[in-house]
Amino acid sequence: MLGRAALVACAAIALASLATVLVALPGGAPTSADPGAPAVAWWVVLLPAVAGIALALVLPRRAAAMPAIVTDARRLHASTAVLLACAVALPVLSGALSLAGGEGYVLAKVVLVMLVPGIAVAVLGGVRIHRVRGAWRWWAPAVVVVVWTLLSQVAPWNPAHDLSGVDPVLLVVAASATAVTAGLGEELLFRRWLQTRLEAALGAWPGIALASLAFALMHLGSHATGSPVLDVARVVVAQGSFGLLMGVLWWRHRSLVAIVAAHVVSNGWAVAAHLLG
């Protein structure tokens, strides 16, 4: 019952957010906080995620289930509470202390996305994943990530970032820090650790939905523009749809390599294209 209520609530928030951005920002909006980030049409934002989710659900056609299983309910609840607290603390502290875009934000992410959650998971545990073997566990998510990359980064409808005025050394340093704290850290926190526990406690789809919503709202710390309702709607549609794809990939294939690779591509493709071009 609780899982169904959570799923309905997440769906309602997603639909309300989509309606809000379509009305308030019909031409699209920047989906990145990076300098030179262009406005992106909403269909361009959503198409890769929708296509990726569809592929993840059908590849392979007969994938064995790998459910998250509760091993200790009290430890599960305690570790989940710590992870959720960290997910909430990051945007709150970032906004209160104006950390976005600076070294303080990177440090806060290291502590709240990787260090504290990692210690909590190592000490408390509370859940395990029933894993199965099979070649499909690497080739199926690889196909999904490649198709998503083609649609979200390579296809001609994707607008280019203008990074011409940014120091190349700064770009490399910033991209490297983002790859670690976002590409690896966020996938560990929101998928490997948090979603797995929410799946075990509430069911697969409620767990995916709640972790994706938490992932989206975390971006308020770096993507806020001063309009709370519109900011929430923007991150739910843009970052939430990407988080939903990563969540489905993690649930279906339990491949941390695949979701980290996709996240690194999402954040670093524009920088790599600029430097190599």
Over residues 206-243, the pLDDT tens digits come to 999 999 999 999 999 888 888 999 999 999 999 999 99
Per-residue model confidence (pLDDT) at position 157: 96
pLDDT per position as a tens digit, 188-210: 999 999 999 999 999 999 999 99
pTM: 0.96
pLDDT per position as a tens digit, 9-59: 999 999 999 999 999 999 999 888 776 788 999 999 999 999 999 999 999
Per-residue model confidence (pLDDT) at position 33: 75
Alpha-carbon dihedral of residues 173, 177, 180, 186, nearest 10 degrees?
-150
CA gap 11, 25 in Å, rounded = 21
Give the mean pLDDT of 1-14: 96
Per-residue model confidence (pLDDT) at position 259: 98
Question: For residue 203, what are the contacts with CB-CB under 8 A and spacing of at least 6?
Answer: 3
Alpha carbon separation from 194 to 61, 104, 105, 215 (Å, rounded):
27, 24, 21, 10
Does residue 65 have a pLDDT over 80?
yes
* Among 23, 21, 12, 24, CA closest to 46: 21
Provide the token pair at 16.
């309300």
Q: What percent of the chain has pLDDT over 90?
A: 82
pLDDT per position as a tens digit, 254-276: 999 999 999 999 999 999 998 88
Does residue 76 have a pLDDT over 90?
yes
Per-residue model confidence (pLDDT) at position 249: 98
Residue 241 burial class via C-beta count within 10 angstroms: exposed 0-12, middle 13-18, buried 19 and up? buried
**For residue 78, how many other CB atoms are within 10 A of its CB?**
16
Give the mean pLDDT of 63-71: 95
